[in-house]
Structure 1
Amino acid sequence: MKVVEEQTLAARNPAYADSTKRTRVRYVVLSMLLVATILNYVDRSALGIVAPSLSKSLSLNKMQMGELFAAFGFAYSIALVPGGVLTDVLGSRLAYALSLVGWSFATLTQGLATGYHMLLGSRLATGAMEAPAFPSNARAVTLWFPARERGFATSVYVMGQYIGTPLFTGLLLWISAAYGWRTVFFVTGGFGILFSLIWYWVYRDPHRHAGVNAAEMEYINEGSTAARKPREKFDWRMALKLLSYRQILAICLGKFCNNTLLVFFTTWFMTYLIEARHMSMIKVGIFQALPFIGATIGILAAGSLSDFFIRRGVSISTARKAPLIIGTLLGASIVLVNFVESNEVVIAILTVAFFAQGVGSMSWAAVSEIAPRQYVGLTSSITSLAANIAGVTTPLMIGYITQHTGHFYWALNLMGAICLLGTLSYSVLLGKLSRIEL
């Protein structure tokens, strides 16, 4: 049977027959996942970057801006499960292409907004259309990488949510100042539409990719204990069945708690530096990049060390769980900013906290290890839904607390407590990681 399958693949893909040297097509795919994730987060963060000039131009108050921040998370959360289903049904190639062109067009329309309601509609559309992205990422990594490399591969594409801000915030601020805030949305949306065409043209699943040879295919499938199951007709009851598993519930709670910090840094962080710490715009421009750099280092270090320990014989369960527990626990250090006066020390603490959040974001690799192979997209979307509920609750929570207390003190304390809850979920509730067989 295996011989017949290999002959079929060799006939379909000429490069497959040449097994003298392993190809590295999986790294081309990984680079595209990274670019797509950068575009994903730049587009969702663009509103925060141009908020001062946009709110003035459209006469929007802070409460309305808070609602616009939360609108994205609301639509994104609702669409995640359908987005995962779309990924399982259509595959990463088509699902990601449709998602990219959809959210990029919605981003572009924000530049055409003439008031609150039009901008609200565009934000809702952006959130809904971005939903298939991370399920498509997880599915592609599961198909393209062996277990020993999935931690690194996951950390690379997750890194995209951290490096976009320090890389492009300065450029987008300059575009806004030179050409107006609307141009920021036109530029970011336009690049996304272009990349959607590149993705659809280049990406294929490994068994259909002409550039993959037998050696790379064998390496990708190394350690697989079961053949990949064919796609089955989707049953909505499967989502409820997955939620009955302890591992799924624990990762859902842990991801929500860990993601609370990420949402703070992508929404209220600039406001905190300016209003609570009274930093000048020059200092904000310099300091805002440091926590994001710390988070980038955190996710790369976690993925690399996790894979390293697996190669040294440490169990996949231990290697994947350790970053989740350590990172989420260390993220609670954010409360320390309430007890220091120096802005430099505040930035150092925030950098450590965001570094820890990056380490804790290795939960995507854990999802890849436990998800049923025929429902990787659905499992990813369920856990991502839990994580992105924080995209709604965090902006509203911080806005409500700061409005009624006049400062960030209790909001930061609450975020620290949420991190401790996530630590308990990963360390006590999660248990041993193992593939769910349905």
Structure 2
Amino acid sequence: MLSRKIKNYRWIILALLVSATTINYLDRQILGLLKPTLEVEFSWSETDFAFLVMAFTGAYAIGLISWGWFIDRIGTKPGYIISVATWSIMGMLHAVARTVTGFGLARIGLGLTESGNVPAGMKTIAEWFPRKERALATGLFNSGTSLGIILALIIVPWILSIYGWHQVFIITGSIGFIWLLVWIYVYDVPSKHKRLSEEEYNYIHEGQKLDPEAELEVVKIKWVKLFTFPQTWAFITGKILLDPIYWFFMFWLPSYFASTFKLNMANLSPELMIIYTMTIAGSIGGGYFSSWLIKRGWPTLKARKTALFIFAIMELTVLSAQFATNAWMVVGILSFTLAVHQAWSTNVFTLVVDLFPKQAVSSVTGIGAMSGAVGGMLFPLLVGYILDSYKAAGNLIGGYNLLFIICGLTYLVAWVIIHLLTRKSDIVSLNELLESKSE
């Protein structure tokens, strides 16, 4: 019996990518939400918590570059299966930790395994979406980061108040196994998918050379060669300078509101809910905006960089947070700036699928995202040092204000570097990257 063809099947695939990213960020956000509880139970300092963040991000960096290489060789379906299964197990193992070292080991395991989501997701988008829809698809994919945080804000306080912090890790970690069952049943590459119509297959490959065998071919990418292209370094710049900022807000924002405005993380936080909900609009809106420019006839790269420049200017708004006089003013400022960050992030990610063939997307994504994780590993050391120093001086709020200034100015610096690196850039051809097929 032939399988029934489903119209617009690519959006079902995208829904799976969004849900995977939601689960991914749910699992990693839990420690930040439990920080006020765990720092009392285990007497953590800000530097102790910075060590835990560094442990996760260091492992995440190693994992990203490894998963990018791995997924380009085995494919997105098995790659996602292995990644989601292992990160779900590692998330649950947090429940048995009792010391900073124990939590550190659990965070290392989670970082190594969760890092498969980004390269697998971006490679899937390159496989399933035409060029003109990739920014929007990336924006929706990226919105899962915010959905995961929002979901964590809803369910973590509830589980914590009823069952305790151990069960928070166990219950949330088990969700990934449900996703796996759906992924195994639903996913395959377009050329092999029995539910994909010929019309949609042609639409996905619009403007591309139709070669079904190329989707199945295992290729060897010259990794050293990737670092010779300015396009690679433009993506690395966008990630290494800006990813640490989002990680800072993800891990320290609950603590900021708890210490500055006495927010009780045992209860649902409308302040954080509003902030992270707005980031969803930023993810989708950022992808839509640059895609809209392209549809109006703008060259693809010019549209992406124009969008990035506008977002970098808008990010300067975060500098005004130091002058806010109450929590809701800060909520308004951070809602806007974090939404703009996600708009920026969406367009930086889309640069990869714009400038590289899909056989190399996972590898380049892994390299760039690894660079972002390295920045995310080092930045917490500065954060911990600044906050502990200001706390010792009795002015913790001043420490956060300094960090807001650093965050706001970094976007313009990153844009200038990206612009200089891509002034004469073109799409990298597959032939420029391949090693000998006989190897």
- Global fold match (TM > 0.5): yes
Residue 408 of structure 1 aligns to a residue in which SS? Answer: helix
The separation in 2 between residues aligned to 1:280 and 1:34, in whole angstroms, is: 29
CA offsets 1:313-365 (integer angstroms, 9 cap, x no match): 22211222222222233223222212332332222111121111011012111
Give the residue type in structure 1 aligned to 2:106.
Answer: S
Q: Which residue of 2 aligns with 1:66?
A: 50
Alpha-carbon distance between aligned partners in 1 of 2:291 and 2:2, rounded to the nearest angstrom: 32
Which runs of no fewer than 5 residues in structure 1 stay unpaired? Answer: 1-12
Per-residue CA deviations over 1:357-414 (Å, capped at 9, x if unaligned) read 0110121111111123321110110111122223212322111111123322322222
Q: Is the 8 A contact 2:274 2:331 kept in 1?
A: yes
Distance, in Å, in 1 between the alignment partners of 2:268 and 2:423 is 42
Question: Given the superposition, is the C-alpha separation of residues 435 and 203 from structure 1 closer, same or farther in structure 2, using an over 3 Å criterion?
Answer: same
For residues 19 and 425 of structure 2, the distance between their equivalents in structure 1, rounded to whole angstroms, comes to 30
Partner residue in 1 for 2:320:
336
Q: 1:291 to 1:432 in 2, by over 3 A?
A: farther
Code of the aligned partner of 1:278: F
- CA distance in 1 between counterparts of 2:131 and 2:337 reads 28
Deviation by residue 1:290-310 (Cα, 9 ceiling, x = unmatched): 221222111111112222232
CA contact (8 A) 1:397 1:411 kept: no
Aligned partner (choices 162, 186, 193) of residue 170 of structure 2: 186
**CA gap 1:208/1:232 in 2 versus in 1, 3 angstroms:** closer
Provide the rounded CA distance (Å) in 2 between the counterparts of 1:67 and 1:90. 33
Rounded Cα–Cα distance in structure 1 between residues aligned with 2:231 and 2:218? 23
* Shift, 1:158, TM fit: 0.4
Distance of aligned partners of 1:221 and 1:14 in 2 relative to their CA distance in 1, 3 Å threshold: farther
SS in 2 for 1:361: helix
Mean alpha-carbon deviation: is it higher for 422-431 or for 46-55? Answer: 422-431
Question: 1:416 — aligned with what?
Answer: 408
In the alignment, is the contact (CA less than 8 A) between 1:230 and 1:374 conserved in 2?
Answer: no
State the Cα deviation string for residues 5-36 of structure 1 (Å, max 9, x = none): xxxxxxxx9569x7xxx721111100000000
Partner of 1:303: 287
Residues 143-154 of structure 1 mapped to structure 2, 5 A cutoff? 143-154=127-138
Q: Which residue is 1:234 aligned to? A: 220
Of 373, 395, 404 in structure 1, the residue corresponding to residue 358 of structure 2 is: 373
Could you tell me which residue of structure 1 aligns to residue 232 of structure 2? 248
Supply the AA of the counterpart residue of 1:373.
Answer: K
Instruction: Report the 3-state secondary structure (helix = DSSP H, G, I; strand = E; otherwise coil) of the residue aligned with 2:298.
Output: coil
**Aligned partner of 1:380: which letter?**
T
CA distance in 2 between partners of 1:172 and 1:387 (Å): 27
How many pairs align? Answer: 419
Shift of 1:240: 2.4
CA contact (8 A) 1:88 1:374 kept: yes
Please say if residues 47 and 388 of structure 2, whose CA atoms lie closer than 8 Å, have aligned partners that are also in contact.
no
Task: Please say if 1:46 is aligned against 2:30.
Answer: yes
- Matching residue of 1:358: 342
Q: Secondary structure at the match of 1:72?
A: helix
Structure-1 residue corresponding to 2:437: none
Question: What amino acid does structure 2 have at the position aligned with 1:90?
Answer: I
Question: 1:256-405 to 2 correspondence within 5 Å?
Answer: 256-275=240-259, 277-281=260-264, 285-362=269-346, 363-405=348-390
Alignment of 1:6-155 (within 5 A): 14=2, 23-155=7-139
Task: State the partner residue of 2:181.
Answer: 197
Compute the displacement of 1:226 (Å): 6.9
Q: Deviations over 1:24-63 (max 9, x none)?
A: 1111100000000000001111111122223333443332
Paired amino acid for 1:392:
M
Alignment check: 8 A CA contact 2:354 2:427 kept:
yes
* Secondary structure of the structure 2 residue equivalent to 1:23: coil
Q: Give ranges in structure 2 of 5+ residues lacking alignment.
A: 392-398, 433-439
Q: State the 1:131 CA deviation.
A: 1.6
Over residues 212-235 of structure 1, what are the superposed CA-to-partner deviations in whole Å (9 max), with x where a residue is unaligned?
Answer: 111111111101157447645535
Cα distance, 1:420–1:314 mapped onto 2, change above 3 Å: closer
Q: In 2, distance between residues paired with 1:343 and 1:52?
A: 18
For residues 162 and 424 of structure 2, what CA distance do their matches in structure 1 show?
Answer: 54
User: 1:7 is matched with which residue?
Assistant: none
Give RMSD over aligned pairs: 2.2
Retained in 1: the 8 A contact 2:24–2:148?
Answer: no
Render the CA deviation track for 1:126-185: whole Å, top value 9, x for unaligned. 000112211110110001011111111111110000122223312211101110001111
Instruction: Name the CA shift for 1:279/1:57 in 2 (closer, same or farther; >3 Å).
Output: closer
CA distance in 2: counterparts of 1:386 and 1:161, whole angstroms? 18
Task: Note the C-alpha offset of 1:286.
Answer: 1.7
- Which whole-Å deviations, capped at 9, do the CAs of 1:250-294 have from their partners, x for residues lacking one? 22112222223211211111222232x334438981211222122
Q: Is the 8 A contact 1:334 1:353 kept in 2?
A: yes
Give the distance between the partners of 1:91 and 1:208, measured in 2 at CA.
13
1:431 aligns with 2:423: yes
Asked if the contact 1:260–1:415 (Cα under 8 Å) also holds between the matched residues in 2, the reply is no
